[in-house]
Amino acid sequence: MDMAAQRQQVDENYDQFQRVLGSILAEHEGKIALMRDGEIVAFFDTVRDALKCANDRFPDGIYSLQDVTREPIDLGVFSHAGG
């Protein structure tokens, strides 16, 4: 996947996350959401757990993580193309 397509994936995930945040906040606040293709794949207690699952499940390395919180927190871009 080229960088433009990768960036599009990350942007799509973020946009979709913002749309559903209100509906997931009560149940998943404080968790880390693993996202791929605009979908939340799973929730985790720690970034480390989310990264382990993401790397195991998505060997191409294309995914993003979002912190489920009322305040925007930048976790950085946890997405990259595997080689």
Q: Is residue 25 part of a domain?
A: yes
Give me the pLDDT at residue 1, please: 54
Mean pLDDT of 61-66: 87
| Domain encompassing residue 22 | 3-67
What are the pLDDT digits (tens) for 7-20?
A: 888 889 989 999 99
Q: Is residue 43 part of a domain?
A: yes
Q: Is residue 41 part of a domain?
A: yes
How many domains does the chain fold into?
Answer: 1
Of residues 14, 49, 55, the one with CA closest to residue 35: 14
57 pLDDT higher than 80: yes
Q: Is residue 63 part of a domain?
A: yes
Look-up: residue for tokens 């509906």?
23
Q: Is residue 82 part of a domain?
A: no
Confidence of residue 82 (pLDDT cuts 50, 70, 90): very low
74 pLDDT higher than 70: no
| pTM (predicted TM-score) | 0.80
Of residues 69, 80, 79, 62, the one with CA closest to residue 32: 69
Q: Is residue 80 part of a domain?
A: no
30-55 CB burial, b ≥16 within 10 A, e <16:
ebbbbbbeeebbebbeeeeebbebbe
Q: Is residue 16 part of a domain?
A: yes
Q: Is residue 73 part of a domain?
A: no
